[in-house]
Amino acid sequence: MADFLSLHTALSGILAARAGVETTSHNVANAHSTGYTRQRVTQLSREYGHQTSYGTIGTGTTIDGISRARNEFLDMRVRAGLGLAAGLDVRASLLGRVEEALAEPELGIGAALADTWNAFEELSLSPTDPAARRNVIATLQALTTRINTVAESWNRVASDAQVSIQQDIGEVNRLLQEVAGLNEAIRRSSGLATPNDLYDRRDLALDRLAALIGATSREMEDGTVKVSVGGLTLVQGDRASEISWNADDLTIGHVSGVDVQPGGAIAEYQRFLAEDLPARQATFDQFVTHLVETLNSRHNAGTYGPGQSGADLFDPAATAFTLTLLVTDPYELAASGDPFATHDGGNAASLAALREEPVPGDGRTLDQIWREIVTDIGVSARTALDAASAQAGLQSAAELARMGAHGVSIDEEMVALIEYQHAYQASARVMTAVDELLDQLITRTGLVGR
């Protein structure tokens, strides 16, 4: 009986080695698959031994299961960083576009202002020269256009951010559905066989959710995960609840009626649309108001032709977006400070002097106000860029640690392959030995006297 048992023991070794080779080849095949976690055959000695009078003889090996080398802590670390990194990237690129629109220092509003002051001063030299007058109108028009262009480009950045957030919310909803579906599949298959590759798919979706909206997840006892964003549960078991973007009040709606407090990329789009851009647009509009008020009041104080007062240069109610030049006839430029002195350029000189005079009620010159706006945007863009690259460094360290723990090492697999190959060969050798023993017993025993 013991001899037959050894055959089975060797068979269990062969079966285990075969499972080992198959798992290894699965690992090697998936060495570069996204989100793949290496798998290992967990092999234990068989617990039921063969009782004899002198003790228990082992009866071989058994495959306990195929485990997945997943480290929850590393996942959490990577996901926390993913949300931050994606958010900072979004912020840096949005602020980058805001500053690109300025086209400073060469083709921006700063240069247009300097041109304007020079044009007015040139007009003060020869107030009746039509070329000097036309030049003033042209530079004022250029200034207006540049202000309009900046306002328009900023609006375009805002509408692009709206489109991006809309797309991202769509992707979040799709991923939430996917996670719910995978939850269901995992729960149903649990106990029968470990669906390792389903876990990998779900982890991939959870990574993406962390980057997009800063979602966190917790594994439940039945193998499903609960996904929540800012304390609000979005997936529980096989149920996912949709979220939606309200473009009007810039909030993210949820069926419960509570607004979602997002993280990740979506949070930065939302923050840019709700805070960053409106604040900058307000300071920009404030600058335009100062520009319009000071230039208008100076121009009103002057005269053109015989004794006609200067009209408003710009529409007094204008914002950066709607700013338009009202005086387009060069003749109507009020260059003169003296109503009937044809060749007086006093008022043009006084307009040009705005180059150095502080705006009433503000204390800074127009040039200074504009410089501060530009510097301010530059500083926030710089800060965002630095934060993004610092976070990218941290993130790649976390990603690397996780890849190291979860990924497939070809060398390691080759070693495992050789091990399993040897184990297979050894078990086969055991079988041959037992076979020879049996042969001895069957064909060579009991032949005395033949």
Binding site for other proteins (CB under 8 A): 31-32, 95-96, 99-100, 102, 104-105, 110-111, 113-115, 117-118, 121-122, 125-126, 128-129, 336, 338, 340-344, 349, 352, 355-356, 367, 370-372, 374-375, 377-379, 381-382, 385, 396, 399-401, 403-405, 407-411, 414-415, 418
CB of 369 to other proteins, least distance (A): 12
Query: Quick one: 82 or 377, whose CB is closer to other proteins?
Result: 377
Burial 246-272 (b: 16+ CB within 10 A, else e): eeeebbbbbeeeebbebbbbbbbbbbb
**107 Cβ neighbours under 8 A, 6+ residues apart:** 146
Query: Quick one: 31 or 258, whose CB is closer to other proteins?
Result: 31
Distance set, CA 271 to CA 251, 402, 443 (Å)? 10, 30, 88
CB of 171 to other proteins, least distance (A): 23
Query: Quick one: 362 or 367, whose CB is closer to other proteins?
Result: 367
Query: Quick one: 226 or 355, whose CB is closer to other proteins?
Result: 355
Query: Quick one: 65 or 108, whose CB is closer to other proteins?
Result: 108
Distance set, CA 175 to CA 163, 172, 222 (Å)? 18, 5, 20
Query: Quick one: 126 or 173, whose CB is closer to other proteins?
Result: 126
CB of 55 to other proteins, least distance (A): 41
> At residue 369, what is the residue type?
I
CB of 349 to other proteins, least distance (A): 7
Query: Quick one: 75 or 121, whose CB is closer to other proteins?
Result: 121
Coil, strand or helix: which one is 408? coil
Query: Quick one: 211 or 377, whose CB is closer to other proteins?
Result: 377
CA-based Rg of the chain, rounded to a whole angstrom?
A: 39
CB of 101 to other proteins, least distance (A): 10
Query: Quick one: 118 or 251, whose CB is closer to other proteins?
Result: 118
Task: State CA 439 to chain mean position distance.
Answer: 71
Q: H/E element holding 338?
A: none
β 50-52/251-254 pair status = unpaired
* Residue (of 67, 69, 8, 9) closest to 37 by Cα position: 69
How does DSSP assign 42-90, residue by residue? EEEE-S--EEETTEEE---EEEEEEEE---HHHHHHHHHHHHHHHHHHH
CB of 176 to other proteins, least distance (A): 28
CB of 201 to other proteins, least distance (A): 18
**255 Cβ neighbours under 8 A, 6+ residues apart:** 241, 242
Give yes or no for a contact between 147 and 109, defined as CB atoms under 8 angstroms apart. Answer: yes
CB of 338 to other proteins, least distance (A): 6
Give yes or no for a contact between 269 and 165, defined as CB atoms under 8 angstroms apart. Answer: yes
CB of 20 to other proteins, least distance (A): 17
Phi and psi at 126, nearest 5°, equal -135, 80
Query: Quick one: 418 or 433, whose CB is closer to other proteins?
Result: 418
For residue 330, is the peptide bond before it cis, meaning its omega torsion is within 30 degrees of 0?
no
CB of 387 to other proteins, least distance (A): 12
Alpha-carbon gap, residue 190 to 40, rounded angstroms: 18
